[in-house]
Homo-oligomer: A and B are copies of this chain.
Amino acid sequence: MSSATTPQPIRVALVGATGKMGRYAIDAISNADDMDLVATLSSKNPLEDITEAQATHVLDLSVPDISPDVVAFAVDNGLHTVVGTSGWTEDKRTALASQLANHPEIGVLIAPNFSIGSVLATRFAAQAAPYFDSVEIIEMHHPHKLDAPSGTAVRTAEMIATARHNAGVGASPDATKHDPDHARGAQVDGVHVHAVRLAGLEAHQEVLLGTPGQQLVLRHDAFDRTSYMPGVLLGLRTVASRPGLAYGLDEYLDLD
Protein backbone atom coordinates (compact mmCIF):
# COMPACT_ATOMS: atom_id res chain seq x y z
CA MET A 1 0.00 0.00 0.00
CA SER A 2 1.86 3.10 -1.17
CA SER A 3 0.72 6.56 -0.16
CA ALA A 4 2.13 10.04 -0.52
CA THR A 5 1.22 10.93 3.07
CA THR A 6 1.45 8.86 6.20
CA PRO A 7 -1.98 8.56 7.87
CA GLN A 8 -2.39 10.43 11.15
CA PRO A 9 -1.80 8.16 14.14
CA ILE A 10 -4.77 7.24 16.31
CA ARG A 11 -4.48 9.29 19.51
CA VAL A 12 -5.76 7.02 22.29
CA ALA A 13 -6.80 7.99 25.81
CA LEU A 14 -6.97 4.92 28.05
CA VAL A 15 -9.40 4.96 30.98
CA GLY A 16 -8.82 2.21 33.55
CA ALA A 17 -5.07 2.17 33.10
CA THR A 18 -4.25 0.56 36.45
CA GLY A 19 -6.38 -2.58 36.05
CA LYS A 20 -5.04 -5.87 34.70
CA MET A 21 -6.41 -5.34 31.21
CA GLY A 22 -5.25 -1.73 31.32
CA ARG A 23 -1.65 -2.67 31.90
CA TYR A 24 -1.67 -5.05 28.93
CA ALA A 25 -3.33 -2.36 26.81
CA ILE A 26 -0.58 0.16 27.63
CA ASP A 27 1.98 -2.25 26.19
CA ALA A 28 -0.10 -3.13 23.15
CA ILE A 29 -0.90 0.49 22.18
CA SER A 30 2.65 1.64 22.84
CA ASN A 31 3.94 -1.06 20.47
CA ALA A 32 1.46 -0.23 17.68
CA ASP A 33 3.09 1.89 14.96
CA ASP A 34 -0.18 3.59 14.02
CA MET A 35 -1.20 4.66 17.55
CA ASP A 36 -0.11 7.20 20.15
CA LEU A 37 -1.08 6.68 23.77
CA VAL A 38 -1.74 10.32 24.73
CA ALA A 39 -3.37 9.87 28.15
CA THR A 40 -3.77 7.17 30.79
CA LEU A 41 -6.49 7.75 33.38
CA SER A 42 -7.18 5.97 36.62
CA SER A 43 -10.06 6.62 38.99
CA LYS A 44 -8.20 9.66 40.33
CA ASN A 45 -8.08 11.55 37.04
CA PRO A 46 -10.80 13.92 35.81
CA LEU A 47 -12.27 13.01 32.40
CA GLU A 48 -11.11 16.37 31.10
CA ASP A 49 -7.60 14.84 30.90
CA ILE A 50 -8.91 13.09 27.77
CA THR A 51 -9.75 16.27 25.91
CA GLU A 52 -6.73 18.17 27.16
CA ALA A 53 -4.53 15.46 25.63
CA GLN A 54 -6.31 15.98 22.29
CA ALA A 55 -7.24 12.32 22.04
CA THR A 56 -9.18 11.15 18.97
CA HIS A 57 -10.18 7.82 20.49
CA VAL A 58 -11.07 6.55 23.96
CA LEU A 59 -10.42 3.01 25.18
CA ASP A 60 -12.56 2.39 28.25
CA LEU A 61 -11.39 -0.49 30.45
CA SER A 62 -12.76 0.99 33.70
CA VAL A 63 -15.46 -0.47 35.97
CA PRO A 64 -19.23 -0.88 35.41
CA ASP A 65 -20.19 2.02 37.69
CA ILE A 66 -18.05 4.52 35.80
CA SER A 67 -18.16 3.25 32.22
CA PRO A 68 -21.45 4.94 31.15
CA ASP A 69 -20.11 8.34 32.26
CA VAL A 70 -16.83 7.79 30.40
CA VAL A 71 -18.59 6.89 27.18
CA ALA A 72 -21.11 9.74 27.46
CA PHE A 73 -18.27 12.21 27.95
CA ALA A 74 -16.35 10.79 24.97
CA VAL A 75 -19.35 10.93 22.64
CA ASP A 76 -20.23 14.46 23.72
CA ASN A 77 -16.70 15.48 22.83
CA GLY A 78 -16.77 13.78 19.43
CA LEU A 79 -14.40 10.92 20.26
CA HIS A 80 -14.68 7.41 18.90
CA THR A 81 -14.82 4.91 21.74
CA VAL A 82 -14.01 1.25 22.33
CA VAL A 83 -15.41 -0.27 25.54
CA GLY A 84 -14.22 -3.42 27.27
CA THR A 85 -15.95 -2.81 30.59
CA SER A 86 -18.76 -5.20 31.52
CA GLY A 87 -22.21 -4.25 32.79
CA TRP A 88 -23.63 -2.70 29.59
CA THR A 89 -27.19 -3.95 29.91
CA GLU A 90 -29.73 -3.54 27.14
CA ASP A 91 -31.17 -0.46 28.90
CA LYS A 92 -27.81 1.25 29.01
CA ARG A 93 -27.09 0.42 25.39
CA THR A 94 -30.45 1.86 24.34
CA ALA A 95 -29.69 5.10 26.15
CA LEU A 96 -26.28 5.27 24.48
CA ALA A 97 -27.79 4.67 21.05
CA SER A 98 -30.12 7.65 21.65
CA GLN A 99 -27.16 9.87 22.50
CA LEU A 100 -25.32 8.66 19.40
CA ALA A 101 -28.26 9.66 17.19
CA ASN A 102 -27.18 13.26 17.87
CA HIS A 103 -23.58 12.49 16.87
CA PRO A 104 -24.07 10.63 13.58
CA GLU A 105 -20.36 10.59 12.73
CA ILE A 106 -19.19 8.96 15.99
CA GLY A 107 -18.59 5.21 16.41
CA VAL A 108 -18.76 3.21 19.65
CA LEU A 109 -17.89 -0.47 20.04
CA ILE A 110 -18.92 -2.32 23.19
CA ALA A 111 -17.23 -5.73 23.23
CA PRO A 112 -18.06 -8.30 25.93
CA ASN A 113 -15.09 -10.32 24.65
CA PHE A 114 -12.02 -8.98 22.84
CA SER A 115 -10.56 -12.40 22.02
CA ILE A 116 -10.94 -12.75 18.25
CA GLY A 117 -10.59 -16.51 18.47
CA SER A 118 -13.29 -16.80 21.11
CA VAL A 119 -15.64 -14.54 19.14
CA LEU A 120 -15.07 -16.59 15.99
CA ALA A 121 -15.55 -19.91 17.81
CA THR A 122 -18.86 -18.76 19.26
CA ARG A 123 -20.07 -17.51 15.91
CA PHE A 124 -19.05 -20.70 14.11
CA ALA A 125 -20.77 -22.77 16.80
CA ALA A 126 -24.04 -20.94 16.26
CA GLN A 127 -23.76 -21.28 12.48
CA ALA A 128 -23.03 -25.00 12.63
CA ALA A 129 -25.48 -25.92 15.40
CA PRO A 130 -28.60 -26.37 13.20
CA TYR A 131 -26.83 -29.02 11.11
CA PHE A 132 -26.09 -31.41 14.00
CA ASP A 133 -28.37 -33.50 16.20
CA SER A 134 -26.41 -32.77 19.37
CA VAL A 135 -24.51 -29.81 20.79
CA GLU A 136 -22.79 -29.51 24.17
CA ILE A 137 -20.29 -27.05 25.64
CA ILE A 138 -17.31 -27.72 27.90
CA GLU A 139 -15.62 -24.65 29.40
CA MET A 140 -12.34 -25.05 31.28
CA HIS A 141 -10.81 -22.38 33.53
CA HIS A 142 -8.25 -21.81 36.29
CA PRO A 143 -9.51 -22.87 39.73
CA HIS A 144 -9.76 -19.30 41.07
CA LYS A 145 -12.92 -18.57 39.09
CA LEU A 146 -15.95 -17.90 41.27
CA ASP A 147 -18.83 -18.57 38.85
CA ALA A 148 -19.83 -21.63 36.84
CA PRO A 149 -20.53 -21.75 33.99
CA SER A 150 -18.52 -18.89 32.47
CA GLY A 151 -20.19 -15.90 30.88
CA THR A 152 -18.78 -16.84 27.48
CA ALA A 153 -20.25 -20.34 27.78
CA VAL A 154 -23.65 -18.89 28.67
CA ARG A 155 -23.57 -16.54 25.67
CA THR A 156 -22.43 -19.37 23.38
CA ALA A 157 -25.28 -21.59 24.60
CA GLU A 158 -27.79 -18.79 24.08
CA MET A 159 -26.60 -18.15 20.52
CA ILE A 160 -26.68 -21.87 19.73
CA ALA A 161 -30.19 -22.22 21.14
CA THR A 162 -31.42 -19.25 19.12
CA ALA A 163 -29.88 -20.58 15.90
CA ARG A 164 -31.41 -24.01 16.40
CA HIS A 165 -34.80 -22.54 17.28
CA ASN A 166 -34.78 -20.31 14.20
CA ALA A 167 -33.94 -23.30 12.00
CA GLY A 168 -36.70 -25.40 13.54
CA VAL A 169 -34.27 -27.89 15.08
CA GLY A 170 -35.42 -29.74 18.20
CA ALA A 171 -33.61 -30.69 21.38
CA SER A 172 -30.45 -32.80 21.38
CA PRO A 173 -31.31 -36.47 21.98
CA ASP A 174 -30.66 -37.70 25.54
CA ALA A 175 -31.88 -40.96 27.04
CA THR A 176 -30.41 -40.27 30.49
CA LYS A 177 -32.71 -41.73 33.14
CA HIS A 178 -30.40 -41.88 36.12
CA ASP A 179 -28.07 -39.00 37.00
CA PRO A 180 -28.31 -38.48 40.76
CA ASP A 181 -25.19 -36.32 41.06
CA HIS A 182 -25.70 -33.97 38.07
CA ALA A 183 -22.89 -35.38 35.92
CA ARG A 184 -24.80 -34.04 32.91
CA GLY A 185 -23.99 -30.52 34.06
CA ALA A 186 -26.02 -27.34 33.62
CA GLN A 187 -28.59 -26.59 30.94
CA VAL A 188 -28.64 -23.11 29.40
CA ASP A 189 -31.60 -22.68 27.05
CA GLY A 190 -31.60 -26.45 26.67
CA VAL A 191 -27.88 -26.70 25.84
CA HIS A 192 -25.78 -28.78 28.27
CA VAL A 193 -22.81 -26.84 29.66
CA HIS A 194 -19.97 -28.40 31.66
CA ALA A 195 -17.47 -26.40 33.73
CA VAL A 196 -13.99 -27.76 34.48
CA ARG A 197 -11.67 -26.01 36.99
CA LEU A 198 -8.05 -27.07 36.63
CA ALA A 199 -4.75 -25.70 37.93
CA GLY A 200 -2.50 -24.75 35.02
CA LEU A 201 -5.34 -23.65 32.72
CA GLU A 202 -6.39 -20.09 31.94
CA ALA A 203 -9.60 -19.88 29.81
CA HIS A 204 -10.62 -22.57 27.31
CA GLN A 205 -13.84 -23.68 25.67
CA GLU A 206 -14.90 -26.60 23.47
CA VAL A 207 -18.17 -26.81 21.58
CA LEU A 208 -18.91 -30.42 20.57
CA LEU A 209 -21.38 -30.93 17.70
CA GLY A 210 -22.40 -34.48 16.78
CA THR A 211 -24.62 -36.24 14.31
CA PRO A 212 -24.59 -39.90 13.24
CA GLY A 213 -21.13 -40.80 11.96
CA GLN A 214 -19.40 -37.50 12.64
CA GLN A 215 -18.34 -34.86 15.15
CA LEU A 216 -17.26 -31.23 14.79
CA VAL A 217 -15.22 -29.73 17.64
CA LEU A 218 -14.60 -25.99 17.93
CA ARG A 219 -12.00 -25.31 20.61
CA HIS A 220 -10.59 -22.01 21.79
CA ASP A 221 -7.64 -21.63 24.18
CA ALA A 222 -6.79 -18.30 25.81
CA PHE A 223 -3.41 -18.82 27.43
CA ASP A 224 -3.13 -15.29 28.87
CA ARG A 225 -4.54 -11.78 28.60
CA THR A 226 -2.32 -10.84 25.68
CA SER A 227 -4.90 -12.78 23.69
CA TYR A 228 -7.30 -9.85 24.06
CA MET A 229 -4.97 -7.22 22.62
CA PRO A 230 -5.32 -7.95 18.88
CA GLY A 231 -9.07 -7.48 19.31
CA VAL A 232 -8.58 -4.21 21.20
CA LEU A 233 -6.32 -2.87 18.45
CA LEU A 234 -8.71 -4.04 15.72
CA GLY A 235 -11.50 -2.18 17.50
CA LEU A 236 -9.50 1.04 17.78
CA ARG A 237 -8.48 0.86 14.11
CA THR A 238 -12.02 0.22 12.86
CA VAL A 239 -14.35 2.23 15.12
CA ALA A 240 -13.96 5.55 13.29
CA SER A 241 -15.26 3.98 10.08
CA ARG A 242 -18.33 2.46 11.76
CA PRO A 243 -20.58 5.28 13.01
CA GLY A 244 -23.21 4.33 15.57
CA LEU A 245 -23.21 1.62 18.23
CA ALA A 246 -21.76 -1.84 17.59
CA TYR A 247 -22.22 -4.56 20.21
CA GLY A 248 -19.78 -7.43 19.91
CA LEU A 249 -16.44 -7.58 18.15
CA ASP A 250 -17.86 -9.89 15.48
CA GLU A 251 -19.61 -6.91 13.88
CA TYR A 252 -16.14 -5.68 12.89
CA LEU A 253 -14.89 -9.00 11.48
CA ASP A 254 -15.04 -9.67 7.75
CA LEU A 255 -16.72 -13.07 7.58
CA ASP A 256 -18.64 -13.19 4.28
Contact = CB atoms under 8 A, between A and B. Distances in A.
A215 B196 contact: no
Contacts of A184: 148, 185, 195, 197
A225 B253 contact: no
A127 interface: yes
B143 A253 contact: no
Contact of A117 (B127, B144, B211): B211
A200 B172 contact: no
A146 interface: yes
A121 interface: yes
A205 to B, nearest CB: 10
Given A127-B255, A132-B199, A184-B195, A177 B213 contact: no
A177 to B, nearest CB: 5
A220 interface: yes
Interface string A171-203: 011111111011111111000111111111110
Interface string A223-256: 1111111100000000000000000000001110
Interface size class of A (residues with CB under 8 A): 35 or more
Interface stretch (A40-48, A56-64, A134-142): A134-142
A185 B176 contact: no
A116 interface: yes
A147 interface: yes
A155 interface: no
A218 interface: yes
A208 interface: yes
A214 interface: yes
20 contacts: A116-B214, A117-B215, A120-B128, A133-B199, A138-B194, A145-B175, A172-B197, A181-B188, A183-B194, A185-B185, A199-B212, A200-B211, A211-B227, A213-B226, A214-B221, A214-B222, A214-B227, A215-B220, A217-B219, A218-B218
